[in-house]
Amino acid sequence: MIFFYFVLQILLLKRYIYCEEFNLFGDAGQAYALEVNIGHPPQKLHVLVDTGSTTLAIASYARKDSGIYFHQENSTTLYNSGKEVQAKYSQGTWSGNLASDFVQFPTLPMVPEVRSDIALITKSYKFFMNGSGWQGLLGLAYLPVAAWGENVVVGSWLDFVERHVKKPMSFELKLCGTHSPENATHYGNLQMFDDKNSSAISNEFIFRTPILRKRWYEVGVLSVHLINSTFKNNVANNIATEDSNKTNGGIDQDICRELNIEKGIVDSGTTSIRLPDAIFRQIVSELSNSVQTSNMLILDEFWYHGEAACWPEPQEWNLPSLAIDLLSTEADNQYFTLEIPAQNFMRVVTARNNSAESGTVSEFCYKLGLEAGGKETVLGYTAMEGLQVLFNRSASWIGWKPSDCGPNARVTGLYNTTKSLLYLCQLTQPMPDVNVSIKAAQWTLCAFSIIAAAVLIYLLAPCIKMFFVRPLPRSQQISLSQAALVEQET
Ligand SMILES: *[C@@H]1O[C@H](CO)[C@@H](O)[C@H](O)[C@H]1NC(C)=O
Ligand SMILES: *[C@@H]1O[C@H](CO)[C@@H](O)[C@H](O)[C@H]1NC(C)=O
Ligand SMILES: *[C@@H]1O[C@H](CO)[C@@H](O)[C@H](O)[C@H]1NC(C)=O
Ligand SMILES: *[C@@H]1O[C@H](CO)[C@@H](O)[C@H](O)[C@H]1NC(C)=O
Ligand SMILES: *[C@@H]1O[C@H](CO)[C@@H](O)[C@H](O)[C@H]1NC(C)=O
Ligand SMILES: *[C@@H]1O[C@H](CO)[C@@H](O)[C@H](O)[C@H]1NC(C)=O
Ligand SMILES: *[C@@H]1O[C@H](CO)[C@@H](O)[C@H](O)[C@H]1NC(C)=O
C-alpha cells in the first residue's frame, strides 16, 4: 500500500514537472512566444522572446487578420508620451508611440511587476504574421539596438526590472523543439535569475562564451562545419580530444574572419542559422551529397531556395551534425563546440497525419534551418534547441549546456589553439563593462523571408517519384534580428 502510494506520488510529481515546465510555445517557424500581462486591469497578450532586439513592442490596433491587441483606453495606469518611435526591417516596419505601463509575466513569478517603457505599435507593414499567436516582441538585447524616435529611445524592460530589484538579472532559454513528429508546435522555457541569488542553478559543465559587444548578443563564432557524430551516446564528453593538436586547434583563420567580418549574434527571434554565403554553400553542398549517398532525393530548391520538401511519413535524418565552435571565456586560445544534430536543422514545418480519416493525404514537410546571411552569422533558435542557454548579462557571457529535452544536441571542449583567437580571427575584445554609451542608432531590421513557393516531393520508395509545387504560408520562417546598425556621433 505504502509502495503504491509512493509510486503514485512519483507519477504525480513527474506529471507536474512535465506540465509546468514550459512557458514558451510557437507554431512551426514562428519562434517562441511568452504570455504577458500589460496594464491595470491586466490585458493578456503574447510576445515573442527575442534576443536579437531590445524593445517591448505591442500591437495597439486591430489588424486585418487579428483582433487581439492592447486596448490602451482600458488601462488606468498607461502613460502615453505621444512621442513617435519606429523600427525598420528590410522588408517590413512598424511605427508607434513611446508609452509606459505595468508589465508582468504570469509564468515568471519570481520577476516583480514593473512599470516599463513599451512601444505601442499603431502601424505596421509586413511585421505581424497572418494568424500568428503573438501580438508583439519582448526584446532582451542591449539599448543600442532599441527602437527609437527623435531624441528618444524606448528603454528596455530588462533594465527596468534590474533597476527595480537593484540587482543584475540573467535569463536562460531552454528551447525544446517539437514533442512529437506528428505535431509541429514547439515548446520551451524561459527562466530569469537574479545574479546575487543564483546559487540554486548549477554552473557545472557549462561552457561560456564571452559577449564581445553589447548591442545584440555578439559572440565569437570561430568555425561552422559538419561532423559525423558517431559517439552520440557518450555522455562524458567534457574532455579535450586529440583534435586539439591540429594546426591552430582546427580553427581556420580565413573562415573565422569571414564568420565575424560583420558580427556573429545569438538571436532567439530568428529561425535559422544564417551563415556568410560561401560558408553556407560549402556546408549545404556537403549535406546534399551526404543525402544522395543515403539514397534519398532532395532537390536543390530545398537546399538553396528555402523551399519545403514533403513526405507522406515523418523522416528520420541520418545526416552529419553541424559543429559550431565558439570562443571560450577561459582563455583567448580556447574554444568549445556546439554539436547540432540534423533534427535541428531539418525543421518540421507541417505535420499532418490524416491516415485515420478518409479523403486527405498525410503530409510531413521540412525546411532547411540554414540560410545564406550575406556577411553576417546569426545563431537563430535552430542552434539553441536541445540546449540550455544562459545569458549572464552582468558577467558578460553566454553559457551553453545540453538540456534534458528536445533534440540530442551536445557541447564538447575545451579545445586549445596555439595562437590567440582574438588576434587570429580579428575579434573585438570582450567588453567587461555593462554600460554601453547610447549613440543615436539607426538601424534596419532584417525581414521575414518571403516564401514564394514551396516544392513538395513525395518519395514513394522505391520506384514511384512524384513532384509538385505548392505555395506555403510566409509564416514558416522568421527573422527578427536587426540587420544593420549605423552609429552616429552624438
Ligand atoms: C475595454 O473596456 C470596455 C468598457 O469598459 C469593455 O467593454 C471592453 O470589453 C474592454 N476591452 C478589453 C479588451 O478589456
Ligand atoms: C490569412 O489568413 C486567412 C484565414 O486563415 C486567409 O483567408 C488569408 O488568405 C490569409 N492571407 C494571407 C495573405 O496569407
Ligand atoms: C499540436 O499540439 C497542441 C498542444 O498539444 C494542440 O493545441 C494543437 O492543436 C496540435 N496541432 C495539431 C496540428 O495537431
Ligand atoms: C553570472 O555571473 C556572475 C559572475 O560570474 C555570477 O556571480 C552569477 O551567479 C552568474 N549568474 C547566473 C545566473 O549564473
Ligand atoms: C601534437 O603536437 C606536438 C608538438 O607540436 C607533436 O610533437 C605531437 O606529435 C602532436 N601529436 C599528434 C597526435 O599529432
Ligand atoms: C497516423 O495515425 C494513425 C492512426 O491514428 C497511426 O496508426 C499511424 O501510425 C500514424 N502515422 C504516422 C506516420 O505517424
Ligand atoms: C590548454 O591550455 C591550458 C592553459 O592554456 C592548459 O592548462 C591545458 O592543459 C591545455 N589543454 C590541452 C588539452 O592541451
Ligand 7 within 6 A of 416 CB?
yes
Of the pLDDT bands very low, low, confident and very high (cuts 50, 70, 90), residue 20 is: low
User: Pick the residue with more confidence: 72 or 359?
Assistant: 72
Ligand 2 within 6 A of 131 CB?
yes
Give residue 203's pLDDT.
67
Is 75 inside any structural domain?
A: yes
Ligand 4 within 6 A of 426 CB?
no
Mutating to test ligand 7, I would choose from 245, 416, 417, 419 the residue with most ligand atoms within 8 A of its C-beta, which is 416
Give residue 484's pLDDT.
35
Which is the closest atom of ligand 3 to the Cα of 182?
14
Give residue 356's pLDDT.
59
Same domain, 424 and 471: no
Contacts for 335 with CB less than 8 Å, ≥ 6 apart: 222, 249, 251, 325, 326, 327, 328, 413, 414, 415, 417, 421
Per cent of the chain over pLDDT 70 is 75
User: Pick the residue with more confidence: 405 or 465?
Assistant: 405
Is 2 inside any structural domain?
A: no
Same domain, 63 and 123: yes
Which is the closest atom of ligand 2 to the Cα of 474?
14
Same domain, 479 and 385: no
Give the neighbor-by-neighbor strand order of the sheet with 377-379: 213-214, 217-218, 264-266, 377-379, 273-275, 370-372
Of the pLDDT bands very low, low, confident and very high (cuts 50, 70, 90), residue 374 is: confident
Same domain, 311 and 263: yes
Ligand 6 within 6 A of 354 CB?
no
Give residue 362's pLDDT.
81
Give residue 13's pLDDT.
42
Say which DSSP state 156 is in: P
Give residue 292's pLDDT.
81
Tens of pLDDT along 282-294?
999 999 888 887 7
Give residue 248's pLDDT.
67
Ligand 3 within 6 A of 183 CB?
yes
Asked whether residue 465 carries a pLDDT value surpassing 60, the answer given is: no
Question: Quick check: 299 and 288 in contact, CB under 8 A?
Answer: no
Of the pLDDT bands very low, low, confident and very high (cuts 50, 70, 90), residue 61 is: very high
Is 175 inside any structural domain?
A: no
Which is the closest atom of ligand 3 to the Cα of 351?
13
Q: Choose the most confident range, by mean pLDDT, from 198-207, 238-247, 267-276.
A: 267-276
Per cent of the chain over pLDDT 90 is 46
pLDDT, mean of residues 434-455: 28
Ligand 5 within 6 A of 418 CB?
no
Which ligand minimizes its atom distance to the CA of 247?
A: 5
CA 356 to ligand 6 centroid distance, Å: 7
Same domain, 402 and 448: no
State the Cα–Cα distance between residues 135 and 471, nearest whole angstrom.
25
3-state secondary structure of 304: helix
* Least confident window among 36-40, 149-153, 434-438: 434-438
Is 211 inside any structural domain?
A: yes
Which grid coordinates belong to 151?
531624441
Tens of pLDDT along 207-216?
999 999 998 9
Tens of pLDDT along 120-140?
999 998 888 766 788 999 999
Tens of pLDDT along 283-323?
999 998 888 877 777 888 889 888 888 888 888 888 999 99
Ligand 3 within 6 A of 180 CB?
no
**Domain end: 401, 431, 461, which one?**
431
Same domain, 366 and 443: no
- For residue 215, the domain's CATH number is 2.40.70.10
pLDDT, mean of residues 187-201: 80
CA 243 to ligand 5 centroid distance, Å: 11
DSSP helix, strand, coil percent of the chain (3-state; round to 5): 20, 40, 45
Please give the residue range of the domain that contains residue 286: 199-431
Mutating to test ligand 6, I would choose from 353, 360, 361, 362 the residue with most ligand atoms within 8 A of its C-beta, which is 353
CA 245 to ligand 5 centroid distance, Å: 6
Is 255 inside any structural domain?
A: yes
Which is the closest atom of ligand 5 to the Cα of 242?
13
pLDDT, mean of residues 374-383: 92
3-state secondary structure of 283: helix
Is 286 inside any structural domain?
A: yes
How many CB atoms within 10 Å of residue 5? 9
Of the pLDDT bands very low, low, confident and very high (cuts 50, 70, 90), residue 77 is: very high
Question: Quick check: 436 and 214 in contact, CB under 8 A?
Answer: yes
Asked whether residue 93 carries a pLDDT value surpassing 90, the answer given is: no
pLDDT, mean of residues 220-247: 58
Protein residue whose Cα sits closest to atom 13 of ligand 6: 313
Asked whether residue 11 carries a pLDDT value surpassing 60, the answer given is: no
Contacts for 216 with CB less than 8 Å, ≥ 6 apart: 51, 52, 141, 142, 145, 263, 265, 266, 267, 481, 482
Work out whether the CA dihedral 16, 314, 177, 385 comes out positive or negative: positive
Q: Which three-class secondary structure string do you get for 44-103? A: EEEEEEECCCCCEEEECCCECCECCCCCHHHCCCCEEEEEEEEEEECCCEEEEEEEEEEE
Of the pLDDT bands very low, low, confident and very high (cuts 50, 70, 90), residue 457 is: very low
Which ligand minimizes its atom distance to the CA of 168?
A: 4
Protein residue whose Cα sits closest to atom 8 of ligand 5: 245
**Domain end: 166, 184, 209, which one?**
166
Same domain, 250 and 386: yes
Of the pLDDT bands very low, low, confident and very high (cuts 50, 70, 90), residue 198 is: low
How many CB atoms within 10 Å of residue 346? 22
Same domain, 246 and 215: yes
Which ligand minimizes its atom distance to the CA of 363?
A: 6
Ligand 3 within 6 A of 185 CB?
yes
Q: Is residue 1 packed enough to be buried (19+ CB in 10 Å), middle (13-18) or exposed (0-12)?
A: exposed
Is 359 inside any structural domain?
A: yes
State the Cα–Cα distance between residues 118 and 48, nearest whole angstrom.
14
Ligand 1 within 6 A of 71 CB?
yes
H-type alpha helices, 168-260? 253-259
Which is the closest atom of ligand 7 to the Cα of 244?
13
Average pLDDT, the chain: 79
User: Pick the residue with more confidence: 40 or 242?
Assistant: 40
Ligand 1 within 6 A of 74 CB?
yes
Tens of pLDDT along 317-356?
889 999 999 999 998 889 999 999 999 999 988 888 776 5
Of the pLDDT bands very low, low, confident and very high (cuts 50, 70, 90), residue 228 is: confident
Is 377 inside any structural domain?
A: yes
Same domain, 42 and 92: yes
Same domain, 343 and 485: no
Same domain, 422 and 446: no
Q: Is residue 282 packed enough to be buried (19+ CB in 10 Å), middle (13-18) or exposed (0-12)?
A: middle
Which ligand minimizes its atom distance to the CA of 28?
A: 3
Give residue 230's pLDDT.
47
**For the chain, what is the domain count?**
3
Ligand 6 within 6 A of 408 CB?
no
Same domain, 398 and 441: no
CA 120 to ligand 1 centroid distance, Å: 18
